[in-house]
């Protein structure tokens, strides 16, 4: 098998140190409702070329005890502007970080990345309490 030129570019992505996502106490934990967050101007860096990647990130979740604090989440997303990360890794990392702090009933994060080489990439991942 031919060795990929991408090999080793993302070995430590799961250990990436990101800004803290803060939460606040949900006063309606007995109600089931949905919160949608849209980030229409998200940017990160292609780990291969170093060029910027642009995307629309959509977060949808049903809070339990906590809701995400928006300023801290904005700072969290801005952090990625200077990070070389594959689209697939970004969405997985974001969902893991989000769920670990917010602890929602369920959540979904979707990234629609602008075309690169004529191909639009959409990556989504869902989480649900088991």
pLDDT digits (tens, 9 = 90+) for 30-57: 999 999 999 999 999 998 888 999 999 9
pLDDT at 42 (0 to 100): 98
Across the chain, mean pLDDT equals 92
Label residue 4 by pLDDT band (50, 70, 90): low
C-alpha–C-alpha distance, residues 11 and 107, integer Å: 26
Tokens for 6, please give them. 């991408």
Label residue 110 by pLDDT band (50, 70, 90): very high
Whether pLDDT at 18 is above 70: yes
Per CATH, domain 21-128 is 3.90.1660.10 = no
Whether pLDDT at 100 is above 90: yes
pLDDT at 61 (0 to 100): 98
Residues forming a β-bridge with 44: 53
Residues taking part in catalysis: 46, 53
For the entire predicted model, the pTM comes to: 0.91
* Structural domain spans, the chain: 21-128
Q: Which residues are within 8 A (CB) of 18 and not within 5 positions of it... i.e. 6 or more apart? A: 76, 79, 93, 97
C-beta of residue 108 within 8 angstroms of C-beta of residue 126: yes
What confidence tens digit (pLDDT) does each residue in 111-130 have? 999 998 899 999 999 999 87
């Amino acid at each position: 098998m031919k060795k990929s030129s991408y090999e080793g570019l993302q070995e430590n992505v799961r250990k990436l140190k990101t800004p803290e996502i803060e939460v606040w106490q949900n006063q309606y934990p007995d109600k089931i409702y949905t919160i949608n967050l849209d980030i229409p101007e998200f940017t990160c860096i292609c780990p291969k070329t170093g060029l910027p990647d642009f995307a629309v990130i959509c977060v949808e979740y049903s809070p339990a005890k906590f809701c995400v604090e928006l300023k801290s989440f904005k700072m969290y997303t801005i952090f990625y502007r200077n990070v070389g990360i594959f689209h697939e890794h970004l969405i997985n990392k974001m969902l893991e970080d989000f769920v670990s702090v917010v602890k929602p009933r369920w959540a979904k994060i979707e990234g629609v990345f602008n075309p690169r080489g004529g191909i639009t990439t959409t990556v989504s991942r869902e989480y649900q309490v088991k």
